Amino acid sequence: MRSCPSQAGEAFSPDNPPREKRLCWRTSVTCPEDWGERLARLDGGFFHSPLGLRVGAPSGEPLFGTLHLGRDVVGLAVGVWRRCRLSPRRRHFYAPTLPALADASLHGDAVLAWREHLRENGAAEVILDSFDSRWDHHPLLNGERARQEYVVTLDSRVGELAPRFDETHRRHLRRGEREGWEIRLLQGDEASAALEAVQYAAARRAEVRGDAFESRLPALAALKKPRSGLDASWGVETFAAWCRDMLLAAVLVGWANHRAYYILGGSTPEGYGRSASVWLHWAVMRMLAGHGCTAYNLGGTPDSAVRPESPAHGLFRFKHGFGAEIVRCRGVRWELHPTHLRAHALARWLFSRLPA
């Protein structure tokens, strides 16, 4: 485990506080055994868990960081180191979300200390993404990775969920109940096949409306893991809606610390015609609420999605129709060694000049 550099012999000043008052990041490539306890105490979410890192980050060397103030652990962060062809060293760092911290007053100092720690360990580029980011706006966070997410509050009174939905969503729920749809938990190849089918159909529909995205299935190994159960500290499951032997919709959902996050999913053409995704999200919310989840994050859209002319406006109306709170999320990208990044730009330019 990497620790803070020694500060012995340094004089005290207002800008150089004693060691017990300093913030210090310590990191490890393996997940500490007490991560679950710390994640819960520091109000972390799914993307702070080892499984969330596998699902939400590109392949690379994992990194688990704990922020220390004297003897106390007051924050945690995760991410992956990525190598590139231009250096034998790892130079690129990506985190799916911002650090989890004990106190909002630590935001600025904690992020600056994290940036300096990564710089000292060779990072040329750092991306702290905005997934399930729960920070208020901070001057250190830029608009480059801005988005908004849609969070539905859950409690044990699951019967009170549907009345908060808009009338169109409630009508789709009645259809599902009338036709006897059922929810199933899928694993392994069955989960992969269902998610691939609905992602492909969703990508084709998005392309038609001018909001194209690339169909992807992250962390397939996570889909083949032994089931941990919905009461586990963190986990990921594939939920699917069926009408007898017909697949209508499927979603991949992760959770940690009693908060769930919709990762990806969609409907088959048959399910899209019946608006089955509304029913499936409602059924998942009910199931997770019964296992202690208090929030269900429907994922994000660009800020522009609120405007009727946006290609993503339909997605905005779908997510907001669940009575969700809109949460503004921001991340940050730092260029810590511009010379290395200019070399990347030059390499891309040279590659573009090669004959096809």
Report the b/e string of 4-16 with b at 16+ CB within 10 A: eeeeeeeeeeeee
- One fold for both 19-146+330-352 and 149-329? yes
pLDDT computed for residue 211 by the predictor: 59
pLDDT computed for residue 228 by the predictor: 66
DSSP SS3 for 18: coil
pLDDT computed for residue 227 by the predictor: 57
| Phi, psi of 154, rounded to the nearest 5 degrees | -115, 155
Does 91 have pLDDT greater than 60? yes
pLDDT computed for residue 205 by the predictor: 77
Side-chain-side CA neighbours of residue 255 (13 Å)? 24
Report the b/e string of 105-129 with b at 16+ CB within 10 A: ebbeebbebbbebbeeebbbbbbbb
pLDDT band at 189 (very low <50, low <70, confident <90, very high): confident
Residues 118-146 pLDDT 10s: 999 999 999 999 999 878 777 777 656 67
Query: According to the CATH classification, is domain 149-329 in 3.40.630.30?
Result: yes
Domain limits, the chain? 19-146+330-352, 149-329
CA distance linking residue 188 with residue 243, whole number of Å: 21
Dihedral in degrees, nearest 10, Cα atoms 332, 123, 46, 34: -140
| Beta-carbon contacts of residue 213 (< 8 Å; ≥ 6 apart) | 203, 206
Mean pLDDT of the chain: 86
Task: Locate all alpha helices (DSSP H) within the chain, ordered by sequence.
Answer: 35-41, 50-56, 107-120, 167-179, 188-208, 220-223, 269-273, 276-289, 313-320, 338-352
Residues 52-85 pLDDT 10s: 999 999 889 999 999 999 999 999 999 999 988 7
Does 223 have pLDDT greater than 80? no
DSSP SS3 for 351: helix
pTM equals 0.87
pLDDT computed for residue 69 by the predictor: 94
Residues 262-307 pLDDT 10s: 999 999 999 999 999 999 999 999 999 999 999 999 999 988 899 9
Task: Name the β-bridge partners of 287.
Answer: none
Residues 302-337 pLDDT 10s: 888 999 999 889 999 999 999 999 999 989 999 988
Is the Cβ–Cβ distance between 115 and 128 less than 8 Å? no
Q: What is the CATH number of domain 19-146+330-352?
A: 3.40.630
CA distance linking residue 132 with residue 154, whole number of Å: 16
